[in-house]
Amino acid sequence: MSKKIHQLPPEEVLKVLETSPQGLSTEEAEKRLKIYGPNQLEEKKESPLIILFRQFNNPLVYILLVAMGITIYMGDKIDAFIIGGIVLVNGLLGFFQEIKARSSLEALKKMTETKAKVIRDGKEQLLPVSQITVGDIVIVGEGDVVPADIRLIEATGLLVDEAILTGESIPVEKSPESLEEDEPPLYRMKNLLFKGTIVVRGKGKGVVFAVGRQTQIGKIAEKVKESSPESPLNRALKSFSMKWVAVLIGILTFIFVLGIVQGRDIYKLFMLIISELVSAVPEGLPLVITFVLVIGAMALARKKTLVKYLPAVETLGSASFILSDKTGTITEGKLQVKEYTSDNDEILFLISALCNDATEDRGDPLEIALLKWLDSRDYPWKRVRNIYPRVWEYPFDTNLRLMATVHRVENRNYLLVKGAFETLKELATNNVEHFQKIHDQMAEKGLRVLAFGYAPVEGIPDDIRNIKIEVVGLVGFIDPPKKGVKEAVEIARRAGIRVVMVTGDNLKTAVAIAKEVSIYREKDVAVTGQEIARYSDDELYNLMKLCSVVARATPEDKYRLVKVLQKKGEIVAVTGDGVNDVPALKIADLGIAMGDGTEAAKEVAKMVITDNNLSVIVDAVKQGRAIAKNIRKIIYYLLSCSFGEIMLLTSAFLLKLPLPLYPIQILWINLVTEGVQDKTFAFNRPPEDLMSQKPEKPEKAFFDKKQLIDITYGALLIGGINLIVFIYMLKTADYSLAVTTTFTSLIANQWVNGFQAIKDEPFLKNIPDTFRANPYMFLGVGIGFLLQLVAVYVIPQWLHTTPLSIREWIIVLISSVAIFILLEIRKFLGRTGR
């Protein structure tokens, strides 16, 4: 039936779908939701069982299982049981953390769910798109994303971008008239709107005939399901892991060959290699990073920033440019008429009332401001609208920057126009020089200026660009800056982020506002979209280093600015709320949509700001930097600890000493240090000077020369000091006590390393601040300490330990203090790169 619905007249369509122009009742809608299902493209969700199995689907677990098999074969069943148990515990921890992370993300997704205007129970309502069903009456307007497949029953100047379905970049004109063709191609379905397409201009009303998987886009989605691209951080981790494993295999091959030559016991040699592999690769790193990102996304949500695409959090802190809208982001977005001038007040008021789509509280803010202004002057605009009905309209054109309507006034048609003065003066038949001077004076004050004109017409204009009008007046609007924006701009500047206002406003108006909030300063450059078209990409990039305002910008201009900056390695955040912002939002490193913006903008953005304020965006950048900083610290902590274990084991082997640790003990170390301490890094309090640092490139934020030097330094300390502990204990005690002391010392040293990683400055520089930086880490170490006491005194036979006396605990304390002091000295010398 859906194939023939385009052939039926609107009234027949309503009958077939058993609905009416008043829409469905709530009860009927609920019944249909059960029949047709929710109006959403179902994501392929993994079952909990698959998530559980995936925790064990990695080479490290395979190696541990091989090690467990060998220990069983060698008759050491207790070790085999413990290895298997720890593999299971780690897998279960990963499983529960991933389930919790998914639940948190689902909650965030619900917060960003788009809504559509629907008529239910005879009333207009905003409903979640997922709750729309067959038979619902939907109203769409400029900037809306079509929520379902809809048969039009009314349309006024409706243009829809269907590129997502047809590949055609030119918008399609839509109308409710029936089609005769039986099965026309999609691009000729003039009376149908398809889910996911974007309304570029005009408005329409229609009835839903297909939802969810039954829509055109749903059918395509079922055939082709493409997975999300891998995030930059994950790619960096994968690349690093592959290189490290290659180096490790070379090292272990050398050790194995040397061990054979030395006549080492094959079983112990193989267990050494397995132990080093387990030590070398922190298998929990991807999970911990995901955990940090989720915690960060939740923190951003509390600060009015909703993350739709989790990997975007990784690069948030690296933003070097913010291309920001003016209206609603930098300014209040609540316009009011500040001043006006006219050759005929009565005609100016008439145009303001009639060439206007707004009502008292709904519509374009500028048009609402006009109506409030008319109210303040006791002008009866509602009665005027009834007396002089609209017979034709030309919705606002973003390229021509004007809107026009035709009304029947005293038995004659009049064309009424409002728009940018630059546009209307080109159409003017009267002398507008006096208006030009007043316009410039208004613009210098930061007012947004509209010109108004009219002309008697015989019929409907064929081409709006060829009309001639008489310009009768100007109205200047003020849109005051939001509180906190000026301070946010200063913070961004200190942080090395260039804020550029990109607006469709007049150049003088834009500069006046930019000056007020410190975006535009002395020696800065301000240009128009028309001017930047004359620059090559290289010239434009050099210009953007000096530019702080781009006025009269088109969507193509904003798109090009993003591409040029990205080409030069800049990380670009773009804010937007209109359909004209969609191209730039989509390609930006961080597309940030405004919470009350169009559905089209929110659909393609990676983040949604619920409070339209530049200060919130700058605060989100700060949060992103804190997240990136925590990930860097986690990488340092895990790798320095893992490499320290490798150095201890390898050094003992090369010195022909017995193994300082059993493989089972290495697994236990990972549980009581990394297992309880690394998760707490997500709660690190950001340093005070976070926004006084320059942005880092994403590829250098986590792995750079300084980071690798720090990891190596920490690993040498941990490996070297514990080798000294092991050698000393071998000389003064038996092997079992030497292993237990080294085992406990290594764990305590890693805790100290974790404490030192909390913040970049020395631990002792501001002790109260250090303890406030992350209280959860001390809790994690407390849990780890209790577990270690269990290992030493409760289950020594399971972990090859023996009870320690006060003497051995003093040795553990001395080694930990030594680690602490040497890490502290490095910080005081200012050589740390974290």
DSSP 730: H
DSSP 671: I
CA distances from residue 293 to 308, 575, 637, 639 in whole angstroms, order as listed: 12, 22, 17, 19
Q: Is the dihedral of CA 719, 725, 730, 736 positive or negative?
A: negative
Ramachandran quadrant class, 702 (left: phi over 0; alpha: psi -120 to 50; beta: rest): alpha
| H or E segment to which residue 764 belongs | none
Over the Cα atoms of the chain, what is R_g?
34
Which of 325, 557, 619, 678 is labelled catalytic? 325
> Which segments of 495-617 are extended strands (E)?
498-502, 525-528, 547-551, 572-576, 590-594, 607-609
Query: How far is residue 292's CA from residue 288's CA, in Å, rounded to a whole number?
Result: 6
367 and 475 Cβ atoms separated by less than 8 Å: no
Query: How far is residue 714's CA from residue 751's CA, in Å, rounded to a whole number?
Result: 12
Nearest to 531 by CA among 515, 509, 514, 554: 554
Q: What DSSP letter does each residue of 159-185 carry, written as one string?
A: EEE-HHHH---S-EEE-------SS--
Reduce the DSSP state of residue 493 to 3 states and report it.
helix
List, in sequence order, the alpha helices (H) in 678-704. 698-701
| H or E segment to which residue 375 belongs | helix 365-376
CA distances from residue 494 to 152, 488, 502, 531, 808 in whole angstroms, order as listed: 52, 10, 21, 29, 51
For 755, the token pair is 């404490």
Respond yes or no: is residue 577 known to be catalytic. Answer: no
Sole residue written with tokens 């398809």: 194
Rounded to a whole number of angstroms, the distance between the first and last alpha carbons of the chain is 64
CA distances from residue 571 to 171, 322, 566, 631 in whole angstroms, order as listed: 31, 9, 6, 19
Nearest to 399 by CA among 368, 420, 426: 420
Query: How far is residue 68's CA from residue 663's CA, in Å, rounded to a whole number?
Result: 10
Query: How far is residue 445's CA from residue 476's CA, in Å, rounded to a whole number?
Result: 10
732 and 662 Cβ atoms separated by less than 8 Å: no
CB-based contacts of 720: which residues, under 8 Å, 6+ apart? Answer: 647, 651
415 and 461 Cβ atoms separated by less than 8 Å: yes
311 and 231 Cβ atoms separated by less than 8 Å: yes
273 and 252 Cβ atoms separated by less than 8 Å: yes
CB-based contacts of 24: which residues, under 8 Å, 6+ apart? Answer: 32, 120, 133, 135, 136, 137
Query: How far is residue 540's CA from residue 527's CA, in Å, rounded to a whole number?
Result: 11
818 and 719 Cβ atoms separated by less than 8 Å: no
Q: Is the dihedral of CA 781, 782, 788, 792 positive or negative?
A: positive
| Residues with a known catalytic role | 325
